[in-house]
Amino acid sequence: MEKKKVAVPLVCHGHSRPVVDLFYSPVTPDGFFLISASKDSSPMLRNGETGDWIGTFEGHKGAVWSCCLDTNALRAASGSADFTAKIWDALTGDELHSFEHKHIVRACAFSEDTHLLVTGGIEKVLRIFDLNRPDAAPREFDYSPGSVRTVAWLHGDQTILSSCTDIGGVRLWDVRSGKIVQTLETKSPVTSAEVSQDGRYITTADGSSVKFWDANHYGLVRSYDMPCTVESASLEPKVGNKFIAGGEDMWIRLFDFHTGEEIACNKGHHGPVHCVRFSPGGESYASGSEDGTIRIWQTGPLTHDDGEAIPTNGASGKLKVTVDESELQ
């Protein structure tokens, strides 16, 4: 009987707690990069292609919930349970600035022109910081109806989208007026919201469904029911004909965008998958899990006769991960 071929991921060790956010930079003259946020308080930067560890940003005193890189991958940002959002030099690892908040920061995102940073969190306030004048007071938007879970920029930095931890829907804010101009309605809270690379679609994960919205007219384009509660979804950036989703059942599934048919199911994580993201060229995708590892999977036909994972250089080798039940809430 022929052995079934299975995908072999690159496994990135180094985090000692659950990985809760991942972000790929665009392709730069030096390649592309992957940054990860973890409850161990230390965001890590990696080579996006190989998964090799480049460095760790040290300075947060609480779990890091969100991380991102600017367009040129020269600066990183992170939002933390220590009530701060920090800006880092992505080349040296030095902390450039720390923005104080009054509660946990759950989300942060650089504007496309890299001059602004938006943050959101438990305070239910969106703040925009001018990175050219980091000591200036931020702009604050009207109160979000719930604790902010995700933020992203779209329409050439004219609009910001946000979702909440405790109520459904995605809110679109006009940056000039600071007002909500549109709400994309969902039954469950949106745990992941991504603007496609070409600016056409907003990809959301809520409950056990993945939805695709027209990013300009805000209509619902596709909605697919998933086999389990999903926490994150990502659309293939080049052709846009595939998407990935990961969640409670520890598997990362690849689907056809047009039909919703499952193309592949990747197994390997030992805990719920909190975040999935496609690389900027679409040739691979990364997943971060409660088990503290990041796995990078090839989109193409990379197969192997058994399920042995290929480890990559981690910051501290293989780590035994124990799951604290309280962290699963």
Please tell me the predicted confidence (pLDDT) of residue 143. Answer: 85
Please tell me the predicted confidence (pLDDT) of residue 323. Answer: 36
Query: Which residue ranges make up each domain of the chain?
Result: 196-298
3-state DSSP of 56-110: ECCCCCCCEEEEEECCCCCEEEEEECCCEEEEEECCCCCEEEEEECCCCEEEEEE
Distance of CA 297 to the CA centre of its chain: 16
Reading phi first (left if > 0) and then psi (alpha if -120 to 50, else beta), residue 81 is in alpha
For the full predicted model, state whether its pTM sits above 0.95: no
258-264, long-range: CB < 8 A, 24+ apart? 260/222, 260/224, 264/7
Fold that domain 196-298 belongs to in CATH: Methylamine Dehydrogenase; Chain H (2.130.10)
Question: Can you give the pLDDT of all 329 residues of the chain as single tens digits?
Answer: 444 566 789 999 999 999 999 999 999 999 999 999 999 999 999 999 999 999 999 999 999 999 999 999 999 999 999 999 999 999 999 999 999 999 999 999 999 999 999 999 999 999 999 999 999 999 999 789 999 999 999 999 999 999 999 999 999 999 999 999 999 999 999 999 999 999 999 999 999 999 999 999 999 999 999 999 999 999 999 999 999 999 999 999 999 999 999 999 999 999 999 999 999 999 999 999 999 999 999 997 543 333 444 445 444 333 333 333 333 33
Q: State the greatest distance between any 2 C-alpha atoms of the chain, in Å, as a whole number.
A: 68
Q: Is 203 exposed, middle or buried (0-12, 13-18, 19+ CB in 10 A)?
A: buried
Please tell me the predicted confidence (pLDDT) of residue 52. Answer: 97
Calpha distance 139→126 (Å, rounded): 8
Phi, psi of 67 (to 5 degrees): -155, 155
Sign of CA dihedral 280, 283, 287, 293: negative
Cross-strand pairs, 225:
209
Task: Tell me the pairing of strands 284-289 and 242-247.
Answer: unpaired
Calpha distance 41→193 (Å, rounded): 23
Calpha distance 84→65 (Å, rounded): 11
The encoded tokens of residue 227 equal 């086999």
Please tell me the predicted confidence (pLDDT) of residue 142. Answer: 79
Please tell me the predicted confidence (pLDDT) of residue 5. Answer: 60
Residue type present at position 127: R
Calpha distance 188→272 (Å, rounded): 18
Calpha distance 40→57 (Å, rounded): 11
Site of tokens 């902390």: 95
Judge contact between 147 and 164, C-beta under 8 A. yes
Calpha distance 131→141 (Å, rounded): 17
The encoded tokens of residue 18 equal 């659950």
Closest CA to 142 of 114, 111, 175: 175
Distances (CA, A) of 146 to 21, 98, 159, 162, 186: 20, 24, 19, 10, 14
